[in-house]
Amino acid sequence: MIDGRDLWFPNYVWTGQLDVDKEALKTYSDYKIKDKWDNDRLLGDDRPWSSVDFVLEECIAVVNMVKLLDEVYAKICEEIGFRPVQLYNIWVNKNPPGVENPSHTHIHHAGTMGALFSGVYYLDADKDLDQGDIVFERNDQSAMHIPQQLKTQNTPYNMPEARYKSATGDLYCFSSWIPHRVTKNNSDKDRYSISFNYGV
């Protein structure tokens, strides 16, 4: 007779929203993207999306956002039994129509120990358009063992991935070792997101 159930090695995706100055962040994002394009276009970066680091000292809206993120990660760390972590880096992503991001993790940071946590905040993403979902993938081999015909319903135990629609204001925080990708932006508008890594 089974009379207990222990949960081990969970992968959480913490969800929420942030009250930030979206207009100031968007203005700063466009400035950084244009500046990078003007200065780096000869370097051969042929990625179809724009990604550029923020500099905290350049924008008070970024400073205020990081203060809120620090509070979020302090609560997460308390919940899971960690000491507080600190910001590693923060950057903006601009995904134009037709662009998707392949599966990846954030296990490396500037060639040193990888981040513990990563996250994304959607700065400008229309929830009524198909601008690309963030998809978290399992990093075990369960897909090789669980046949579709065995499932009577979809549960966190048997699903191969978890998908979240991009929408302005939404925040997702997760362990940096979880593979994740972004589906294609099938709209005619650019999608802006701000990503970040935290670690020791």
Tokens of 165: 């629609």
Instruction: Extract the runs of DSSP E, i.e. beta strands, from 109-164.
Output: 117-124, 134-137, 161-164
- CA 51/CA 191 separation, integer angstroms: 12
**What confidence tens digit (pLDDT) does each residue in 22-69 have?**
999 999 999 888 876 655 554 445 566 678 889 888 999 999 999 999
The chain-wide mean pLDDT, for the chain, equals 89
Task: Tell me which amino acid residue 196 is.
Answer: F
**What confidence tens digit (pLDDT) does each residue in 106-138 have?**
887 656 667 899 999 999 999 999 999 999 999
Poorest-confidence range of 6-10, 32-36, 72-76? 32-36
Q: Is residue 140 included in any domain, yes or no?
A: yes
Count of domains observed in the chain: 1
Q: Is residue 2 included in any domain, yes or no?
A: no
Predicted confidence at residue 127, as pLDDT, reads: 93
pLDDT value at 83 more than 90:
yes
Q: Which residue segment(s) compose the domain that 125 sits in?
A: 13-146+156-199
Q: Is residue 1 included in any domain, yes or no?
A: no
Q: What is the pTM for the complete model shown?
A: 0.90
Three-state secondary structure call for residue 132: coil
Q: Is residue 184 included in any domain, yes or no?
A: yes
